[in-house]
Structure formats: C-alpha cells, structure tokens
Amino acid sequence: MTEKPTSRQLPVTRYDHGRTELTELLGDLPKYRVEQVWQGLYKDLVNPDEISTLPKNLREELRASLPAALRQDVRSVGDQGETIKWLWRLTDDALIETVLMHYQKRSTVCISSQVGCAMGCGFCATGQMGFDRHLTAGEMVEQVIRAQQEAGDRRVSNVVFMGMGEPLANFDRTWTAVERLHGDLGLSARHITVSTVGMVPGILRMAEEALPVNLAVSLHAANDDLRDELVPINQRWPLAELADACRVHFDRTGRRLSLEWALIADVNDQPVDAQQLASFARSLGAHINLIPLNPTPGWPSQGSSPEQVRKFAEHLTNLGANATIRRTRGTEIDAACGQLRSTRLERPRVAVDLPSRSDRQDSPPE
C-alpha cells in the first residue's frame, strides 16, 4: 500500500519527537537534561518554557525549536460538560477536530488522522469534505496531549482513531503515533483502537506489528451491493477479502473485532440487514456497535428512529450476535460520530439519495 506524502512541507513540531528523537535532537545536552525535557513534555504535559527544572535560556531555546502543532480555533462543550470538541488550526492553517468524551469509569479521546478524507462515504461529514493531507505523527499525538491537559485528574484512558480521515491510508504516521502513545505516554495497547472503512492491506500490516491494538471496521452494510454504495472502498476490497484480513488480525493479536454500523432509515435497518450483519459478525466473533445516523448537511437520508434501533438490536441478539447501541454523544456541538467536519469550511457534497429497501431486491444469506 503506497501512501501519498503530505501535500506541503510542514515544520517539525513539538510531539514529532519521542524519547529517541529528543535524544538525537538534544544530543549536545547531558542525558539528564534530555530526560527532563521528555518528562516535561510527556509526563508533566507542559510547554517547553514551563519545564521548571531547566534553566531559563534553555527553556527559551526549546520554545522556539519545539513549537506546538495545534492552535485552538474553537472549543465547544456539550452533554453537561462531559463532551468537549476542539477545532484546531494547524501550522499551515488546515483545520481538524478532536473530541474528548468522559464516561463514568473512563475518558476517551477521538482523534483525527487526516485533514479531510478520500474514502467518499457520503453519509459521513468528513467524507463530504474531500481529502486535503495526512496528519503527521506529532499532530496526532498532540491531540491526545491537549485532551489530557483538559481531562486533568480524570485522565485519558482510551484513544480511538475515529476522527477525521482514514488512519490506514496514513499508516506509517498513524503507527508512529500509536507507538508514541504507548511508549511515551504509557497507554496500554488494549486501550488504543484504530478504525478503518476496510483497507485490507493496512489491516494486514497492523496484524504484523508488535503492538496488538484494537481494530474497528466501519461496516454499515453486510452485502457487497449496498456496501459498494455506502462505503466505496468496498469496490476494491469486498466483504470476503475484508473478513479474511480481520481473521488474520484476530489470529495474530487476539483482539476482538468491533464492527461499526450507522443505522440509516429504510436503507440498512431492516430484518434482512440484521440477518446479514449477524452472520458476518458471528463468523468473525465480532462485537457490533450500533450508531443511529447523525444528520449532516450533504446527506439526505435520516437516521433510524429510536424504536427501529431497538428492534434492530433485539433482532441481532435473537440471531446470536453480540451488539450494543452506542450512546450518541455531542450531537448538539456536531461532535458525534459522522459529524466531524471543519465547520469553517462549508464544502458539503450533495449525495445521491439511496434507494429504499422496497426498491431493492436483497435477500438474506443462505
């Protein structure tokens, strides 16, 4: 799988350096000074000029040589303070979003891996934007750092690569960020999840890596005809190839697969869809996350009603599948799944309305 480079030359920023890179960058300093810098950035989570153990002149030098990648453009709070969304402006003025979600026993940060997305899923707000460029590893790591600074004592316990972009289309930088989150920030691999629309080569590369992080697949349809419409990458790697890659990942990592399913009224929320999904999930021992479709300006279809979501989940359970209805978070601040978009760039694509179930001749699997 060949990656396109970032579309423009970007300056090196603060969290492009892990412990090893800092050692090389600051090689003329004593080792204990390098350790103090690393401690300040990754443990104390402070700016270089705030590392109190360093002399003032060194702090000033580091402030210039280790600039931040993210500048806050907008900060929105929803769910009585339990959901926080940032719109960040990068060094080239590109815009990305990050969402922090507090739960009773954990805090999860959802980070972006690209500016925009090239996958073309019409119901996704980011997909409606088109693709601009890949994020650097430092830009990804800094999103987590900023969220941890906000979380304070509540501590970020989980990181999900489910924000803007397709992480596996930016594999090398994404994986560098994963390794840094694990090695420098101390996050367990089991608390890191990488989500993909189904880039089979990337899934197979994940399976070969030393860190057994979790894999989530944005499925949304369990027959190729419908998935070709909803998730265009399926035309390149259809469901059979996707399933084979997911089995390889499970066999090598032992991590249970998660399947994400955005419920779209009269499109993928009928009994036949439940039958196809249950069959696919059972064959992989996967867990299903059901997500009512969130509204986006460039997509005409509606999310399934709460009653239809409940019936769909019940049908899956009766078919022996393991499914959970995901609680929608941050809808009022455009922070829920499928709504991540740079709100300052109003470029929604007008999607073609999908045929309803009554217009298609689908049948359940044998």
Eight-class DSSP state of 3:
P
The encoded tokens of residue 238 equal 């259809």
Catalytic, 307? Answer: no
Active-site residue, selected from the candidate residues 21, 97, 229, 260: 97
CA distance 307 to 337: 20
The encoded tokens of residue 354 equal 């999908």
The encoded tokens of residue 128 equal 């409606």
The DSSP H or E segment spanning 173 is helix 171-183
Active-site residue, selected from the candidate residues 117, 121, 124, 337: 337
Geometric angle at alpha carbon 293, from 78 and 274, rounded to 5°? 135
Q: DSSP assignment of 100-142, as one string? A: EEE-SS-EEEE--SEEE-SS--TTSTTGGG-EEEEPPHHHHHH
Catalytic, 337? Answer: yes
Q: Is the four-CA dihedral 297, 221, 236, 252 of positive or negative sign? A: positive
For 244, the 3-state DSSP assignment is helix
User: Could you give the residue numbers annotated as active site?
Assistant: 97, 337
